[in-house]
Structure 1
């Protein structure tokens, strides 16, 4: 711990954090970004104050040994959502993790008081399957497992799945820029009930998927209503990890509440798989909520299999000021 030098993170730390995140992911996969491009987008998130709510620990050689952040992910369902992230190099001792744990809790409480003290806050964080010490630490601090994310992969050499029929009043079309704002609004509607999902404004939406250089508009699709609104969507990106450069990732799949249970997710994902195969990708990956048995069943029918990698999402609620 004494050998670690702490300071706030800066945009120029993206490459160093890419190395740190990759080494952390190799031990406990929680889907941290491992490319400098994606980390630059993370550090530019409008809800992240780099000077006050990030900390990076530098080892004696100047390399990044640890990192933590508290990010304001917006308000939904009358609660402020705060994302807590940590990454530690595998050779660093438990004392550093304990320090980051305390730092995150203190900063989360402060950010809650600054941004929306009149609302409850939901703290959300990820814990890898192998991180038993961290899991105990979080549980002792009042966090509870909310769901578990599982990693799934589709080998594109398998036959294309049969599409589900599309409701006659909708049409499935490739993503175009003119649908960007409507897809953003559909995203926030589709994920509004998910306690740890980001509530995106225009700026953070561009850093979420469609504004990334890895975004694949030709393998992303929207279901459009007669009024030219977006009822459902699938957004696909190219995997920027060097070890998975032939993989595409279904970044998010969502259906607005009023259009659910009509087979739209199946049709959209099937179209994305077809487009990825046409564009020379070998595999398609996604993250699924293990508690959503219907979604898991759908993905299995479409040819996805679980890889055995996964992580838990844990949340803790902080009461608004004056509430008990």
Structure 2
């Protein structure tokens, strides 16, 4: 499709753009294959994220009413050592190979610098992106911008059924589904467990509330493991499932977005018990598979934990970074 870059409209993304953004992301999925489909509600969840600065951090590119490209920079409200701003973006397949991708990446990097100057000016800035490892065009764009690869991510899938590996629940521990009453404990366990990950910092409560407000959150498949004797919450698992994915693929996927164990209870089978319990419950509730994304170079060996539970690698994404 022939088009003139100068004729396209560029402006910050706004709440009324949810349907247009969903259309763009679904068109990108056909070619780039992230395994992610979006409804208008899902796109609205992304746009309305509590800490996303739409005016300073986003750019939407429009050909008439059609959104044909976007860039989004998400700053970290809490940062230690280095402020890592994650830039996301994409171009409609019909509008590629005209320089729009490079333009949007440059816009994302500029947005990252603006947000960094506001929120963490005293720290070094790193601008991070990630993409399907098979997307040669995007990776070439990153390299042309001076970015270098720094991390790999594995998207793992589990077929449920006979592939579920039974893992014993540690003696004296009990499971609880997510509720308003135990939500503060989910939050506390999640924050403590993620501090040991690369760049791990506490999740602000506002951000946590926004995440659990997504249409895709499944509280009945999200579990807390509690030490019955002490009453301490020792581990947690959050599950999400996107109806748009099911509609597009015919597959109901239970995605384990976060799994964590408190430091004092590690190496006692907590994570394995949570995963096994969640897999069995997903099976009982008619899901077709489960999935999770992990840092393939994790210092905690998380990929090995999931492989032992019966997960296999479905695709790999690669992260690129720029010291800015």
Short-chain TM bin: 0.7 to 0.9
Normalization by structure 2: what TM-score?
A: 0.87
Q: How does 1:1-324 map to 2 (within 5 A)?
A: 1-30=5-34, 34-60=38-64, 62-94=65-97, 95-166=99-170, 168=171, 170-195=173-198, 199-208=202-211, 210-225=212-227, 226-240=229-243, 241=245, 242-244=247-249, 245-292=251-298, 294-307=301-314, 309-318=315-324
1:322 maps to none
Q: Distance in 2 between matches of 1:260 and 1:105?
A: 38
CA distance in 2, matches of 1:129, 1:269: 27
* Change over 3 Å in CA distance of 1:122–1:193 after alignment to 2: farther
Cα separation, partners in 2 of 1:202 and 1:43, compared to 1, 3 Å: same
Unpaired segments ≥5 residues, structure 1: 319-324
SS at match of 2:38: coil
Q: Is the 8 A contact 1:73 1:200 kept in 2?
A: no
Contact 2:56 2:115 in 1 (8 A): no
For the residue of structure 2 that corresponds to 1:98, the secondary structure is helix
**1:155 to 1:310, Cα distance in 2 relative to 1, 3 A:** same
Q: Which residue of 2 aligns with 1:321?
A: none
Q: Is the 8 A contact 2:257 2:292 kept in 1?
A: yes
Contact 2:192 2:202 in 1 (8 A): no
CA RMSD of aligned residues (A): 2.4
Q: Is the 8 A contact 2:77 2:119 kept in 1?
A: no
* Structure 1 length-normalised TM: 0.87
- Kindly indicate whether the alpha-carbon contact (under 8 Å) linking 1:218 and 1:275 is maintained by their aligned counterparts in 2: no
- CA distance in structure 2 between the aligned counterparts of 1:196 and 1:90, rounded to whole angstroms: 33
Change (3 A) 1:280 1:133: closer
Aligned residues: 314
Residues in 1 aligned to 2:178 and 2:253: alpha-carbon distance in whole angstroms: 20
Cα distance change of structure 1 residues 247 and 27 upon mapping to structure 2, 3 Å threshold: same
> Kindly tell me: are residues 283 and 174 of structure 1, through their superposed partners in 2, closer, same or farther at Cα, counting changes over 3 Å?
same
Q: Which runs of 5 or more structure 2 residues have no equivalent in the other structure? A: none
